[in-house]
Amino acid sequence: MCNWGMVPGELTGRAPLGFAVPLGDGLACVVDAEPLNWLTPLTSMFLHGSWGHILGNCLFFWVFGNNVEDSMGRARFLVFYLVCGLVAAGAHVMIDPGSPVPTVGASGAISGVLGAYLVLYPRVRVKLLLPLFIIFTFVSLPAWVVLIYWFVLQVITGLPQLMTLRPEVSGGVAVWAHIGGFVAGMVLIKLFENRNYTYRRTSWRHRLHPDHP
C-alpha cells in the first residue's frame, strides 16, 4: 500500500516529508520524495484496504459492469475502465493535493461504469435489498433512480470537504474520486460505445436462443 498506493501529496510535492501515516498493527507509511512513482494512480486501482472494501466494489462491478462491457467489447471496456480510474484519481488529487494518506481501491473506475450505465440504460430496473422495519425486502427501481440517488449522496458527502478543505470530514472516503469517475463515465461512454459490437452480440445471442428477445 505504501509503495503502490497513490499518495496525492507525493505526486504534487506538497506532503510533509517524513510524515508517518499509521496503518494499524504498528505499521505506518512514511512520506518520501524519492523515488516518485508516477504509476501509483494506475496501480492503486488494484489495491484495497480490506475485504469489505473489495467485496463492496465487486458487488457494484458485478451488477453494472457486464452490460456496459456489452456496449463496447472487452478491449474497449478495459481502456474505458482504466481511463475513468485515472480521471477519478486526478479529481481526488485536485481536491486534496497535500494529503499524505495512501489512496487505494477501484471505486473511482467503477464509478465510471456507473456513470456509463446511467447514460446507456437509465430505465432498466435494478433490484435492491432494502431494510423495511425489522426485515429486508427486495425492491425493483429504475437504474436512473438508484444511480442519481447514489451520486447525490457522494456530492452531499463531498461538499463539506470541498468547503472546508479538510479531508477527514468525508470519513476517510475519497468521494471526489467517486464523483470524478462517475462524471467521466457519463462523458466518455459515447466515445467508447460500439453500436456495431452491441448489434453483433445481440444477434449472436438471438441465434442461440431464438425464443428470447
Contacts 24+ apart (CB under 8 A), 168-172: 172/101
Evaluate whether 184 touches 166 at the Cβ level (below 8 Å). Answer: no
Residues 6+ apart with CB under 8 A from 152: none
pTM of the shown model: 0.82
pLDDT at site 166: 58
User: pLDDT tens digits, residue range 33-52?
Assistant: 566 678 888 999 998 878 88
154 vs 17, higher pLDDT: 154
Q: Is the pLDDT of residue 91 over 80?
A: yes
Q: Is the pLDDT of residue 111 over 60?
A: yes
pLDDT at site 85: 96
Question: In 3D, which of 120, 118, 83 has the Cα closest to residue 198?
Answer: 120
How far CA 172 is from CA of 92, 106, 156, 158, in Å, comes to: 12, 15, 15, 11
9 vs 207, higher pLDDT: 9
pLDDT at site 169: 46
Question: In 3D, which of 87, 99, 110 has the Cα closest to residue 41?
Answer: 87
User: For the chain, how far is it from start to end, CA to CA, in angstroms?
Assistant: 46
User: pLDDT tens digits, residue range 123-163?
Assistant: 999 888 777 777 778 888 999 999 999 999 999 988 887 77
Evaluate whether 52 touches 62 at the Cβ level (below 8 Å). Answer: no
Length in residues, the chain? 213
